Amino acid sequence: MILIENQLLYLLEDNKMVAYISFPKVDANKVNITHTYTHPSRRGEGIAKEMMDVLYDHLKENNLKATLSCSYAVFYFNRHQEKRDVL
């Protein structure tokens, strides 16, 4: 289950956090995607991409823009140019 609360998007499985993305607010309409983490046992399964897709939808729905401090977020938005409208 993917949840969003307190500028954290995270994936819970069996009540354990498997992956997360932190995106603290910079101001009222902007966040900074600072960190993406996936547990080593689950890396390579596309979880980070799936979570970034959910975060992108969240940003769009809430009219938020993002800056990128996280190297994976930079990689994601470079690969998905069509989603750069939230940057």
| Torsion over CA: 47, 53, 55, 61 (sign) | negative
Q: Is residue 20 a contact partner of residue 56, using CB atoms and an 8 Å limit?
A: no
For the chain, the structural domain boundaries read 2-86
- CATH code that applies to domain 2-86: 3.40.630.30
What pTM, to 2 d.p., does this model score?
0.94
Q: Which residue matches tokens 């009222």?
A: 28
Query: pLDDT at position 4, please?
Result: 96
Query: pLDDT at position 39, please?
Result: 96
pLDDT in tens, 24-73: 999 999 999 999 999 999 999 999 999 999 999 999 999 999 999 999 99
Task: Tell me the two tokens of residue 26.
Answer: 């910079």
Residue 18 neighbours by CB under 8 Å, 6+ apart:
11, 12, 38, 39, 42, 47
